[in-house]
Structure formats: C-alpha cells, structure tokens
Structure 1
Amino acid sequence: MKSQDETLEEWCRLLLRAFELEDVDVDINEVLSVAGVAAHSVVRPAAPLTTFIAGLATGLKCAAGQAPDGHAMQGAMDVARAVAKAYAADEAQAAPGTPAAGTAGTSAPTGTPGE
C-alpha cells in the first residue's frame, strides 16, 4: 500500500502530465502548508480556494513573462500565506458584534512577493 506522500507525488505527476506541464516542479509540501494556513486562518474551505488562486496568479505571471515558474509560484505562495495571516489578525482584533476589518477585502502585502 502506498503512503500518503507517495500517492500525492503520483497524483501530482498525473495532473501535471494531463495539463502538459511535466517540466513544472511543484513543491507539494509548500502548497499543503499554504492550504493549512488558509484553512486555519480563514475557514477550512479557504484552503482549496487559496491554492487555486495562487496557482492562477502563478500561471498568469508566467504567461506574461513576468517571472519564471519557480519564482512566480513561490511568490504567489508567500502572498497567499501573508494575506491569510493578515486576515486572521484582523479577525482577532475585530470587536464582537462589528464587521471584521479584513472581511471586506484584505489586500496583498506591499513589496515584491518573496522578499
């Protein structure tokens, strides 16, 4: 029987092949880490939404020639992690009975992702 890590590695390779992205290196642990931060900082369903949007941002940056795959992916993961943590901090500071400061649209941190 395969371990969870082996299954995820195999699944990742199959998905990459299906999308003709075999040359893309995916750091599965980093993706899962960001998903975990989103799930615990926002709500559980934020995990797949966050990783999808980070992947979309990565693809758009790469397609526009703004960054190579690895740099764009790490930058997107860094932004997603920072926004999720900022959201949690805003929620923690919100007074009971009032809308939380971060719910209307937490913005990305300033500066270049990954710095």
Structure 2
Amino acid sequence: MNVLEQWTERVCAELGIDPARLDRNAVLDLTKDVAHGVARPAAPLTAYLLGLAQGAGTAPADASARISALAKAWQNDQTPQA
C-alpha cells in the first residue's frame, strides 16, 4: 500500500467515510484538469466544492466529468479575442 492509499484510508476512517464510495482516480483526474486548465489553487477548492455538492445530494452523477470539461475549456474562454 502506498502513501496515498494509506492516507486516504486513514482520513476515511477519521471522517466515518466508507472508502468503497470513493473514486480516487476521478478526484485525481478532476484536480489535475483544474490545476492545469484553470490554476493550481483552484484544484483543491474545486474538489471541496464537488464534495459539498455530493454531500448535499445536488451533484449530478457526471459532475466530475462536467467540471473537467469546464476546466479544459477555461483557457479557451480566457484567451483574448482579436
């Protein structure tokens, strides 16, 4: 077991979260897309916002994919038009 797996297991236990409900790769992919497409500090904030939405039951099933698409499009949206 690597450090990331150990840390995730420990935090899940501390917070009473079933680790089977966690899609670690989806979260890591999401934060990578946001960090590269928007800004590095936006990655943890976005993961937190997704968690809030999921906890409140308002996040759509494809929320990670939708946010990743937003992040990938962000740079194009922010490029000044000639």
How would you bin the TM-score normalised by the shorter chain?
A: 0.7 to 0.9
Q: Who is 2:62 aligned against?
A: 75
In the alignment, which residue of structure 1 is the partner of 2:37? 41
Write the mapping of 1:6-45 to structure 2, written as runs, cut at 5 A: 6-22=2-18, 24-45=20-41
Taking the TM superposition and a 5 Å limit, the aligned residue runs for 1:97-112 are: none
Cα distance between partner residues in 1 of 2:52 and 2:62 = 12
Deviation at 1:24, TM superposition (A): 4.4
TM-score, normalised by the number of residues in structure 1: 0.60
- Which residues of structure 1 form unaligned runs of 5+? 97-115
Structure 2, unmatched stretches of 5+, are: none
1:86 partnered with 2:73 = yes
* Identity of matched residues, %: 34
SS in 2 for 1:95: coil
Q: How many residue pairs are counted as aligned between the two chains?
A: 82
CA RMSD of aligned residues (A): 2.3
Return the structure number with greater helix share.
2
Asked if 1 retains the 8 angstrom alpha-carbon contact of 2:9 and 2:19, the reply is no
Q: Does 1:95 align with 2:81?
A: yes
Letter in 1 for 2:17: L
Cα distance in 2, alignment partners of residues 58 and 18 from structure 1: 19
